[in-house]
Structure 1
Amino acid sequence: MPTDIAFLAIAEAQQLYHWLPAALELARRPGVRVSVLSPSDKLLALIGSYDPDGRLTQVRLARPPSGPDSLFRQPSRLATLLLNHRRIARFPTVVTTEISSAWLRRMPGFASRMILIKHGAGDREGGYKKRHADFDLTLVAGEKDRRRMIERGLCADTRIAIGGYPKFELKAPRQRFFADDKPVLLYNPHFDPVLSSWIRHGPAVMAALESLDGWNVLIAPHTKLARRVPPITSAAPHIRVDMGSRRSIDMSYTMSADVYLGDVSSQVYEYLIEPRPCIFLNLDHRDARCETFAHWRLGQVIETMDGLPTALARANALQAGFLGVQEAAMRDSIDLSPIPASRRQADIILDFLKDAA
């Protein structure tokens, strides 16, 4: 009998990059059958673009009525689970990157083993919720998340493992997004309404970016921000805005920027796969000593947009002083083993299933 493993794709497209490499690797293993369950034709098409040999069995789940279907707008996860829980329960092992699936534990007859691949590697406290404790096994990117999950009582040390960051295996190459050779600043605001630099300070941020001389600017917010705010627009020729596309989630922008400007997004750790200058916005004058802002040690921190031109002018000269802490933070956040993360995650999952049999 083959080992049947189902990967749930009920979240928005940005999450699939965190589980898809492991799914493809498992599908290459003898005696393993991998199914991808999703209510979205758009998500299944994107997944299929990374699976030209058709190794993954695509299963189209029922959609809640009137639910949207785009890469970044999906129907209620709970509604999707309620509508499909019997079908999902047919699989003995379910892998997901989102904690809403923990609701399956409360549905009649559901007895599948549940594995969570924690997506992202950021510092925000919102990345740690009680529902994390409902999974049989959790895979994290590095020691930082392992330590924090255990400290918060969300995982026993026997139910959590470090598997690296498989998204790096699907990263886009560096690209040219502007006609000239000016350096590129990436502004990557988060969606959190309390912590985002855009939601409360958007006009001041845009005015500063539009007035920059000698820079091109990519504005690529977390895709969830588009649900909370009107579309970000600018007529400035040196500014390009992407409110949600494949490029905004496949590392096209983080790989192509020369300086990172942000607040609390975990994408800073994707950007730092190649250490480069960072600038962080503390426009609400927060106490940066708590863990949520741990990454603010990795670059300059400015408290008004008036400080942006000076910070940019100094960025390259100051980078040598930040290099050591950037590299240390990356080692703690993402375990960059020479063994591909997809292979490590596949081995961890199969070893777990063997022990649980």
Structure 2
Amino acid sequence: MPTDIAFLAIAEAQQLYHWLPAALELARRPDVRVSILSPSDQILALVESYDPTGSLRRVRLRRPPSRPDSLFRQPSRLATLLLNYPTIARFPTLVTTEISSAWLRRVPGFRSRLILIKHGAGDREGGYKKRHRDFDLTLVAGEKDRRRMIDRGLCTAETVAVGGYPKFDLKADRQRFFPDDKPVLLYNPHFDPALSSWINHGPAMLAALESLTDWNVIIAPHTKLAIKAPPIVSSAPHIRVDMGSRHSIDMSYTMSADVYLGDVSSQVYEFLIQPRPCIFLNLDHRDASGDAFAHWKLGQVIERADALPQALARANDLQPGFVAAQEAAMQQSIDLSPVPASQRQADLILNFAKKGV
């Protein structure tokens, strides 16, 4: 009998890159059958684009009433879970990247074991919820998250493991998005209204970015920002705006930029796969001493949008002073083992699944 493992793909497309590498690796293993469960034809098509041999069994879940299918807007997760409960619950091992699936624990008779791949490697406190306790095993990117999950009582040392950052296994190559060779600045604002530099200061930020005619600028916010705010629009020829596409989630932009500009997005750690200059925006003059702002030690922090040109002018000169901190932060946030994260996660998932047989 093959070991049956199902991946619950009920979240938006940006989470796919955190579980798909492990799913593909598991499907290569002997006597393992991997199913992908999703209510989205677009999500399943994106999976298929990385699986030309059809090693993954794609299962289209029933779709609750919702907006038209989209990579970045999925139907209610709870409604999807309840509508498809008989299909989902027949798998002995379920892997997911979102914590809504913990609601399955509330259904009488539910016996599947739940594995959470914690997506992202950021510092924001929003990444730690009580529902994390409902998972039998949690895989995190690095020691930072392992320690925080244990310290917050969300896991024990036995129920959390470091598996690396599998998104790096599928990362896009560096690309040219502009016709000239000017340096590229990536602006990556977060979606949280309480912390986002764009939601609170959009006009000032756009004016500052449009003034940077010696730079090419990619504005690629977290894809959830499109739900929180109107589309960002600019006619400046040196600005590319992407409110949500495959480029915005497959590391195309973090691999292709020369300088990172942001607030609290965990994408800074994807950018720092190669140490490069970072600039952080503290436009609301926050106390940055807490964990949520730990990455602000990895680059310049500016408190006015109009200070951006000067920060960019000195970014390369200051960068040598940040390299050691960037490398140390990466070592804690993302465990960069010579063994690919997809293999490490697959080993952890398969060993855990077999224990329950």
- TM-score interval, smaller chain: over 0.9
Name the residue aligned to 1:66: 66
Name the residue aligned to 1:95: 95
**Could you list the runs of 5+ residues in structure 2 that have no partner in the other structure?**
none
How far apart, in 1, do the equivalents of 2:187 and 2:255 lie? 13
Name the residue aligned to 1:319: 319
How is 1:177-256 mapped onto 2 (pairs within 5 angstroms)? 177-256=177-256
Name the residue aligned to 2:46: 46
SS in 1 for 2:52: coil
**Segment of structure 1 superposing worse, 207-216 or 65-74:** 65-74
Structure 2 counterpart of 1:161, one-letter code: A
**Offset of residue 69 of structure 1:** 1.0
Residues 93-134 of structure 1 show CA distances to partners (whole Å, capped at 9, x for unaligned) of 000000000011111321100000000000000000111110
How far apart, in 2, do the equivalents of 1:27 and 1:193 lie? 40
Determine whether 1:337 maps to 2:323. Answer: no
How far apart, in 1, do the equivalents of 2:233 and 2:24 lie? 38
Structure 2 counterpart of 1:276, one-letter code: R
How far apart, in 2, do the equivalents of 1:228 and 1:306 lie? 24
User: 1:85·1:107 contact (CA, 8 Å) conserved in 2?
Assistant: no
User: 1:12·1:74 contact (CA, 8 Å) conserved in 2?
Assistant: yes
TM-score (norm 2): 0.99
State the identity %.
81
Name the residue aligned to 2:147: 147
How far apart, in 2, do the equivalents of 1:235 and 1:36 lie? 40
TM-score (norm 1): 0.99
Residues 239-267 of structure 1 show CA distances to partners (whole Å, capped at 9, x for unaligned) of 00000000000000000000000000000
Name the residue aligned to 2:261: 261
**Offset of residue 87 of structure 1:** 1.0
Structure 2 counterpart of 1:63, one-letter code: R
User: 2:6·2:95 contact (CA, 8 Å) conserved in 1?
Assistant: yes
How far apart, in 2, do the equivalents of 1:153 and 1:260 lie? 33
How far apart, in 2, do the equivalents of 1:174 and 1:23 lie? 25
User: 2:3·2:354 contact (CA, 8 Å) conserved in 1?
Assistant: no
How far apart, in 2, do the equivalents of 1:236 and 1:57 lie? 45
Name the residue aligned to 1:79: 79
How far apart, in 1, do the equivalents of 2:264 and 2:8 lie? 27
How far apart, in 2, do the equivalents of 1:201 and 1:10 lie? 32
**Could you list the runs of 5+ residues in structure 1 that have no partner in the other structure?**
none
How far apart, in 2, do the equivalents of 1:136 and 1:262 lie? 34
User: 2:213·2:238 contact (CA, 8 Å) conserved in 1?
Assistant: no
Name the residue aligned to 2:306: 306
How far apart, in 1, do the equivalents of 2:156 and 2:40 lie? 34
Moved over 2 A (4+): 353-357
How far apart, in 1, do the equivalents of 2:356 and 2:36 lie? 22
How far apart, in 2, do the equivalents of 1:76 and 1:348 lie? 29
Residues 277-314 of structure 1 show CA distances to partners (whole Å, capped at 9, x for unaligned) of 00000000001110000000000000001210110000
How far apart, in 2, do the equivalents of 1:333 and 1:136 lie? 22
Structure 2 counterpart of 1:220, one-letter code: A
Number of aligned residue pairs: 357
How far apart, in 2, do the equivalents of 1:66 and 1:259 lie? 38
Name the residue aligned to 2:176: 176
How far apart, in 2, do the equivalents of 1:97 and 1:274 lie? 25
Name the residue aligned to 1:6: 6
Determine whether 1:114 maps to 2:108. Answer: no
User: 1:196·1:264 contact (CA, 8 Å) conserved in 2?
Assistant: yes
